[in-house]
């Protein structure tokens, strides 16, 4: 049994194939303490690791030093106010204004299932087990239910928390983490993903020092700037070696991820909804569900952590009907035309694209209301028939007649001040009464916490989707939340707005998918500001970044692939000079880099150089040939351009290890150099493989290096030689197949 309760020792043991997570009950049985998380161990009787037999001892034996106990005990859910000064995972205010909670064990249950979390995205699937530990504060009647789930085919541990008000008065949750645990520091490093617009999810590593460190977002979205994720890396951890603890929040709004190193060189790791601006009122009898946190421990470096997240998300989080199907190669008109298009331009793009084998046209921003720039018309979701003469259906039918699917862009959460919607309902925007709300990209955010506004948004989308054969929606969101105020909430519930807003977005996407179960939904937020596991639950792919430059993308995609499956990364080939950085890279290389994601085009195919246009059918064929391997394979990072500043290299390996694809991008040419030795990864040491290069000119595979087959161990240890390519920004795709 992977989850067991050892009554005599008062120990809960959660075992996955490679890991153990152990919780103990201390002080008859009292507090739930964190005993151990790491590589799988055989023993359960490990309560001594909570140090309850060392001074200051549990309060029943040494009440005199209760605060010292509270401040050193490895609390599984540290609550505020009783002497634990290392950071709270839970803070609840009572009507009397007090904020201290003493949570003690009440009961537990172990079930053979993984439940859905009401209103929230979460992992799902069969062959699961869940442990729930119910704790309670006897004075105010607040209960905290800690939940831990595992799936038979994964090493991840899913944690979440539910707060139930069993008291007689309302309480206010001021802070709530979904996961928290304490452990001794062993010289860990902190890894986070940071960035900004057009430079999302770059990897940052720093030593863990005393005090608090961490990342957060208070922008109402998971954000360009930070990812709801942190990892602790043991000494010397790299792609294959060393300990790694990853924590990732299945949530798309404000979050906080932190580590605290205290006086005894112990660490407390916490992850949950961001506490600033958050305050949730719970009436007697009501419950609050916190989002799910996904914990992954790897004793085999970052690579194993990445692959564990990839498999978990592919098998247990992305529930779209499109997940296991090849995604259509799309062409999006954003970088091709921006707002300057009509049905003629779009049709011309589609016609040329269909000849090149592209399978879907996506009409981006600018098709509705009076939208001719980003200054107006958000909210007016009716087709601009001056732009699309003959209407949407006519265009879609014509595109379909070319053998192509049709997709459309929406930004449903927003309203422009210059729009019919805003003129009719100025009170629908999030704002503080009496204070002029700040604009961002000249738009306000609709107060989706109000049902009538959600209904308007839903009906606006469905009216369009029902009017033509639309098979894909790009759901965009181009600003952060500020000036938080809702006319739908009383004063003591204004602190609920950010979270209610996220619940509303989830509800809308849920409704949409229920009504159009086959719809391919791609989430987007000014590029990749909402690239998070919450969005992945609804959309199998997310637009990675507005930066489509192949070289910038190497770093963005490396950080993204650290925790997300490649099948989720929206990646397109765009025109040069690149619209974000002005860089000129070979069309071929742009194709290799976009192949690491969902693959598509973001350019005016009627205007690009003829030699680029001629390459498109070959790139599309390349995508069809290798996409399954990329989307479903195991991902191995071999070299990082972000680290070495010269070249990038990664592989995907088929699960049965019969086949692999290696991408090698020489970013900077070095003069007077030799070929570079590359040690492959993930192959079967005892299988023999042949290495071939994909030749873009012929669309065929040609031999690369010696023609003979080599054992996997040879290719992984002795390596192969990657020849020097002429010039900067050059790439090679190697197909490694079992001989």
Least distance to ligand DGJ, CB of residue 530, Å:
10
* Residue showing tokens 């599309």: 620
Does residue 443 bind ligand DGJ (CB under 6 A)?
no
Does residue 527 bind ligand DGJ (CB under 6 A)?
yes
Q: Is 345 exposed, middle or buried (0-12, 13-18, 19+ CB in 10 A)?
A: middle
Least distance to ligand DGJ, CB of residue 195, Å:
14
Structure tokens at 701: 């595979």
Quick one: how many helices (H) and strands (E) in the chain?
Answer: 14, 40
What's the DSSP call for residue 437? P
Q: Count interface residues toward ligand DGJ (CB under 6 A).
A: 11
Does residue 365 bind ligand DGJ (CB under 6 A)?
yes
Q: Which is nearer to ligand DGJ, 255 or 368 (CB)?
A: 368
Least distance to ligand DGJ, CB of residue 41, Å:
46
Q: Where are the alpha helices (DSSP H) in 448-586?
A: 451-465, 497-515, 533-538, 550-561
Does residue 478 bind ligand DGJ (CB under 6 A)?
yes
Q: Are 663 and 637 in contact (CB under 8 A)?
A: no
Least distance to ligand DGJ, CB of residue 275, Å:
29
Distance CA 682, CA 685 (A): 9
Stretch that binds ligand DGJ, among 480-488, 524-532, 581-589, 603-611 (CB under 6 A): 524-532
Least distance to ligand DGJ, CB of residue 214, Å:
27
In the list 409, 506, 599, 729, the residue contacting ligand DGJ (rule: CB under 6 A) is 409
Least distance to ligand DGJ, CB of residue 546, Å:
5
SS3 content of the chain, % helix, strand, coil (to 5): 20, 35, 45
Does residue 364 bind ligand DGJ (CB under 6 A)?
yes
Distance CA 50, CA 124 (A): 32
Stretch that binds ligand DGJ, among 35-43, 54-62, 508-516, 522-530 (CB under 6 A): 522-530
In the list 181, 334, 428, 704, the residue contacting ligand DGJ (rule: CB under 6 A) is 334
Identify which of 394, 378, 292 has the alpha carbon closest to the alpha carbon of residue 344. Answer: 394
Which of 88, 476, 547, 549 is flagged as catalytic? Answer: 476
Structure tokens at 646: 């010269």
Least distance to ligand DGJ, CB of residue 328, Å:
17
Q: Which is nearer to ligand DGJ, 34 or 371 (CB)?
A: 371
Does residue 526 bind ligand DGJ (CB under 6 A)?
yes
- Long-range Cβ pairs for the range 588-592 (8 Å, 24+): 588/615, 588/696, 588/731, 589/550, 589/665, 589/729, 589/730, 589/731, 590/550, 591/615, 591/619, 591/622, 591/696, 592/550, 592/663, 592/665, 592/731, 592/732, 592/733
Q: Where are the alpha helices (DSSP H) in 571-720?
A: 587-594, 610-632, 641-644, 712-713
Site mask for ligand DGJ (CB under 6 A), range 273-302, x = bound: ------------------------------
Q: Is 339 exposed, middle or buried (0-12, 13-18, 19+ CB in 10 A)?
A: middle
Q: Which is nearer to ligand DGJ, 526 or 731 (CB)?
A: 526
In the bound state, the residue with its beta carbon closest to ligand DGJ is 365
Does residue 546 bind ligand DGJ (CB under 6 A)?
yes
* Active-site annotation holds for 476: yes
Sign of CA dihedral 255, 257, 262, 268: positive
Cβ count within 10 A of residue 225: 19
Helix (H) or strand (E) holding 695: strand 688-695
Which of 27, 137, 546, 612 is flagged as catalytic? Answer: 546
* Active-site annotation holds for 575: no
Q: Which is nearer to ligand DGJ, 121 or 526 (CB)?
A: 526
Least distance to ligand DGJ, CB of residue 527, Å:
5
Does residue 543 bind ligand DGJ (CB under 6 A)?
yes
Distance CA 420, CA 690 (A): 63
Q: Are 224 and 196 in contact (CB under 8 A)?
A: yes
Does residue 548 bind ligand DGJ (CB under 6 A)?
no
Stretch that binds ligand DGJ, among 83-91, 226-234, 521-529, 641-649 (CB under 6 A): 521-529
Least distance to ligand DGJ, CB of residue 524, Å:
5
Q: Which is nearer to ligand DGJ, 14 or 198 (CB)?
A: 198
Stretch that binds ligand DGJ, among 16-24, 519-527, 643-651, 716-724 (CB under 6 A): 519-527
Distance CA 587, CA 692 (A): 21
In the list 476, 575, 648, 659, the residue contacting ligand DGJ (rule: CB under 6 A) is 476
Distance CA 540, CA 89 (A): 31
Q: Which is nearer to ligand DGJ, 243 or 604 (CB)?
A: 604
Query: What positions carry a catalytic annotation?
Result: 476, 546
Q: Which residues bind ligand DGJ (CB under 6 A)?
A: 334, 364-365, 409, 476, 478, 524, 526-527, 543, 546
């Amino acid at each position: 049994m992977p989850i067991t309760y050892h009554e005599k020792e008062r120990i809960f043991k959660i075992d996955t194939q490679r890991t153990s997570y152990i919780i103990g009950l201390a002080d008859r049985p009292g507090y739930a303490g964190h005993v151990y998380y790491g590589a799988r161990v055989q023993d359960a009787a490990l309560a001594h690791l909570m140090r309850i037999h060392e001074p200051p001892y549990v309060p029943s034996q040494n009440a005199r030093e209760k605060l010292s106990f509270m401040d050193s005990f490895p609390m599984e859910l540290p609550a505020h106010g009783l002497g634990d000064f290392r950071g709270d995972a839970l803070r609840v205010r009572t009507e009397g204004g007090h904020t201290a909670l003493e949570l003690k064990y009440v009961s537990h249950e172990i079930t053979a299932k993984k439940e859905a979390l009401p209103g929230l995205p979460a992992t799902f699937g069969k062959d699961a087990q869940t442990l729930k530990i119910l704790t309670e504060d006897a004075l105010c009647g607040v209960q905290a239910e800690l939940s831990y789930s595992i799936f038979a085919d994964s090493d991840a541990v899913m944690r979440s928390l539910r707060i139930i008000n069993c008291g007689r008065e309302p309480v206010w949750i001021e802070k709530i983490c979904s996961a928290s645990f304490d452990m001794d520091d062993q010289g860990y490093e902190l890894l986070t993903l940071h960035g900004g617009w057009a430079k999302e999810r770059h990897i940052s590593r720093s030593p863990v020092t005393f005090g608090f460190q961490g990342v957060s977002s208070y922008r109402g979205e998971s954000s360009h700037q930070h990812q709801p994720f942190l990892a602790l890396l043991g000494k010397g951890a790299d792609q294959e070696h060393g300990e790694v603890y990853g924590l990732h929040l299945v949530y798309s709004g404000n979050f906080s991820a932190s580590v605290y190193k205290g006086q005894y060189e112990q660490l407390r790791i916490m992850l949950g909804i961001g506490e600033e601006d958050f305050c949730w009122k719970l009436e007697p009898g009501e419950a609050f569900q916190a989002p799910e946190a996904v914990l992954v421990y790897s004793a085999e470096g970052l690579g194993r952590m990445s692959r564990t997240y990839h498999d978990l998300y592919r098998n247990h989080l992305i529930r779209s009907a499109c997940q296991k199907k090849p995604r259509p190669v799309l062409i999006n008109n954003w970088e091709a035309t921006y707002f300057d298009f009509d049905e003629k331009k779009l049709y011309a793009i589609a016609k040329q694209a269909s000849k090149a084998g592209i399978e879907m046209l996506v009409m981006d921003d600018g098709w509705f209301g009076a939208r001719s720039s980003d200054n107006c018309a958000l909210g007016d979701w009716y087709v601009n028939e001056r732009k699309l003469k003959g209407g949407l259906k006519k265009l879609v039918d014509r595109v379909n007649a070319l053998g192509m699917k049709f997709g459309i862009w929406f930004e449903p959460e927003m309203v422009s001040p210059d729009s019919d919607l805003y003129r009719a309902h100025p009170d629908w925007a999030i704002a503080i009464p009496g204070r002029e709300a700040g604009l961002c990209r000249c738009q306000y955010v609709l107060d989706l916490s109000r049902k009538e506004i959600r209904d308007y948004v839903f009906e606006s989308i469905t009216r369009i989707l029902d009017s033509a054969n639309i098979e894909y929606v790009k759901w965009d969101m181009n600003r952060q939340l500020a000036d938080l105020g809702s006319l739908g909430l009383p004063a003591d519930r204004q602190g609920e707005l950010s979270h209610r807003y996220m619940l509303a977005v989830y509800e809308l996407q849920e409704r949409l998918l229920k009504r159009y179960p086959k719809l391919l939904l791609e989430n987007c937020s000014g590029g990749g500001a909402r690239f998070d596991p919450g969005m992945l639950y609804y959309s199998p792919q997310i637009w990675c970044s507005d930066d489509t430059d192949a070289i910038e993308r190497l770093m963005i995609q490396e950080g993204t692939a650290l925790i997300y499956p490649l099948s989720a990364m929206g990646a397109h080939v765009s025109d040069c000079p690149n619209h974000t950085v002005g860089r000129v890279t070979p069309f071929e290389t742009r194709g290799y880099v976009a192949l690491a994601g969902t693959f598509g085009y973001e350019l005016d195919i009627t205007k690009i150089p003829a030699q680029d246009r001629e390459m498109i059918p070959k790139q599309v064929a390349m995508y069809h040939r290798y996409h399954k391997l990329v989307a479903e394979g195991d991902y191995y990072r071999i070299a990082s351009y972000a680290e070495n500043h010269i070249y990038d290299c990664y592989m995907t390996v088929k699960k049965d290890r019969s086949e692999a694809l290696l991408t090698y991008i020489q970013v900077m040419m070095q003069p007077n150099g030799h070929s570079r030795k590359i040690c492959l990864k993930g192959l079967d040491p005892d299988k023999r493989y042949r290495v071939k290069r994909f030749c873009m000119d012929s669309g065929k595979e040609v031999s690369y290096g010696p023609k003979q087959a080599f054992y996997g161990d040879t290719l992984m240890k002795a390596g192969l030689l990657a020849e020097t390519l002429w010039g900067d920004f050059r790439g090679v795709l190697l197909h490694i197949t079992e001989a």
